[in-house]
Amino acid sequence: MSVSARYGDPAVSLGMVNDVLSLQLAHRSVRAFGSRGVTDDELTALIAAAQSAPTSSNLQPWSVVAVRDPERKARLAALAGNQAFVEQAPLFLIWVADLGRARRLAERAGTEVAAADYLETTLIGFVDTALAAQNAVVAAASLGLGSVFVGAIRNHPEQVAAELGLPPHTVATFGLAVGSPDPSERAGIKPRLPQGAVLHHERYDAAVADAYIATYDERLSAYNTRFGLSGNWSTRVLSRLRGPESMAGRHRLRETLERLGLRSR
């Protein structure tokens, strides 16, 4: 059932399935949470799972700030587009691309880490942070917890850094609201693009891949209608990427990274 829901196509099936695949295929963003909190043992398990993700050259260039304080969550929610579920979630994790740890290591050793000034290293910080956080999402689901990523934490990176006391050479990449899903939330498994649109064999074939988009637009439009939403995928993509005015202030991210100590030249 999960794989057909994942593609919005009852004809789709998998030749193999196991508990991990079933968990991943059933993923959905949760934006309404029940009253129970996330225990310390659960938080420890989530971070252990995150630290088990791959990391480039074992740099481990990320940190995470666990926020439970209601007033701090309210301030972070305001900085992240006034999204109410950030306040409602019992646990809000802020994932940090952290090149400051290596900088401090170099300072103590009396040496330099000049490669940290380059875009490649900043990218490693963001990629490794995302890999770790996704591991935590799967681990949360295995514990019966729901979650949703919050990219709007990048709307005001400097204010978020001040709120969390982040040191130089770090930046909050995204948030993750975590808690027990409210069963009354009207949401389902959102269909994704057909595999033919994203999977290429040996060489990229844009014409073949793009031919699947019209069908996907129909499937996503039907999903949206079922939950009181509107529009299809193509409309959403074109609206979201229209220009700087559609980026909620994030078009200034390069200059902000410079001020936070991530030069990315």
Expressed as residue numbers, the domain containing 257 is: 31-182+250-265
Quick one: 5 and 134 in the same domain?
Answer: no
Quick one: 21 and 78 in the same domain?
Answer: no
Number of domains making up the chain: 2
| pTM reported for the whole predicted model | 0.96
Mean pLDDT over 60-80 rounds to 98
61 and 99 Cβ atoms separated by less than 8 Å: yes
Quick one: 174 and 80 in the same domain?
Answer: yes
Quick one: 100 and 7 in the same domain?
Answer: no
Residue 188 lies inside a defined structural domain of this protein: no
pLDDT digits (tens, 9 = 90+) for 73-125: 999 999 999 999 999 999 999 999 999 999 999 999 999 999 999 999 999 99
Tokens for 106, please give them. 């170099």
Mean pLDDT over 242-260 rounds to 94
Residue 42 lies inside a defined structural domain of this protein: yes
Mean pLDDT over 245-264 rounds to 93
Nearest to 221 by CA among 8, 30, 28, 13: 8
Quick one: 172 and 138 in the same domain?
Answer: yes
Quick one: 51 and 170 in the same domain?
Answer: yes
pLDDT value at 42 more than 90: yes
Tokens for 50, please give them. 């995150």
Quick one: 80 and 18 in the same domain?
Answer: no
Please list the residues that pair with 92 across neighbouring strands.
Answer: 67, 177
pLDDT digits (tens, 9 = 90+) for 210-248: 999 999 999 999 999 999 999 999 999 999 999 999 999
- C-alpha R_g of the chain: 20
Quick one: 58 and 175 in the same domain?
Answer: yes
100 and 261 Cβ atoms separated by less than 8 Å: yes
The predicted pLDDT at position 91 comes to: 98
Sign of CA dihedral 74, 126, 135, 14: positive
